[in-house]
Amino acid sequence: MNSVAATAPTHAKPATDRCRMLSILLPVRNEGINLRIMLKILRAVVDLPHEVLVVYDSAGDDSVAVVNDVRQIYPELRGIQNTLGHGVVNAIRAGVGASEGDVILIFAADEVGPVLAIEDMIALIRDGCDFVSCTRYAHGGRRLGGSLIGAFLSYSANWLFHRLAASPFTDATTGIKMFRKEIFPSLNLESRPVGWTVAFEMAIKAQHAGLRLGEVPIVSIDRLYGGESTFRLGPWMVEYSRWFLWGLRAYFKNQSVRDKATVRIPKFYR
């Protein structure tokens, strides 16, 4: 393991702590095709005690039929209707509230990369990390496919934020996050329901909550199986900018928060 770590906060979990069960949350909106393939991959790859919660807003979502079909052969699968309000931020709240695991993993149903990173993310949690994020922009990580404008803005924003706000993450905006369930209330999510901006908020607040952090590189392939992206330049720019500025203000108010993330390089990257 390649580590770049500062002294852990005093409340960090000991290395002997174990993940008893992993809850995988998949917020969806009409991701039926992607979801069917993703569930096959998860069922084949994840070999630790886990559950998969597919969180949808509407009972008419085409993902519901997939859940009803697949759960006959995948007993760890559950469908959860989000009644807290639309958007990923409320889907996460609903999913965490319904989860039974002590560790939560969040990612989108159209992403293969996070599945390959589960083993390394869990290893960091077992080593004492409270909050782990993936990166597409460092330590061998890459981003393939998707909108060219979105990719450019994402890379540029993360590069700037990593340097200006002393972020321990090289890719704070990625939606791939794993954390101990017990720390979720301390994040106090306030994002508007605009895309995956809540993932950026989570990364910033995890840093300023003094949690012990980890990072794992992945190769991300946007929308490998097709479907329509929810990316909308105007609303996303406004909400991401809001949290960029929030993070800068938080850093300048408390410049003592400089902890770096422990980085775990997957074996096939070494």
Q: What is the CATH number of the domain that holds 208?
A: 3.90.550.10
Residue 183 domain-assigned (yes or no): yes
With 70 as the cut, is the pLDDT of residue 48 above it? yes
pLDDT of residue 211: 94
Distance of CA 124 to CAs 23, 39, 45, 156, Å? Answer: 16, 24, 18, 27
Give me the domain span that covers residue 192: 22-269
Mean pLDDT score, 179-185: 98
Give me the chain's average pLDDT, please.
Answer: 88
Residue 10 domain-assigned (yes or no): no
pLDDT band per the 50, 70, 90 thresholds, residue 29: very high
With 60 as the cut, is the pLDDT of residue 226 above it? no
Q: What is the DSSP letter of 268?
A: G
Element (H, E) at 49: none
Compute the distance between CA of residue 29 and CA of residue 32 in angstroms, rounded to an integer.
8
With 70 as the cut, is the pLDDT of residue 224 above it? no
Q: How many domains does the chain have?
A: 1
Residue 2 domain-assigned (yes or no): no
Residue 1 domain-assigned (yes or no): no
Residue 131 domain-assigned (yes or no): yes
Residue 5 domain-assigned (yes or no): no
Residue 31 domain-assigned (yes or no): yes
Residue 63 domain-assigned (yes or no): yes
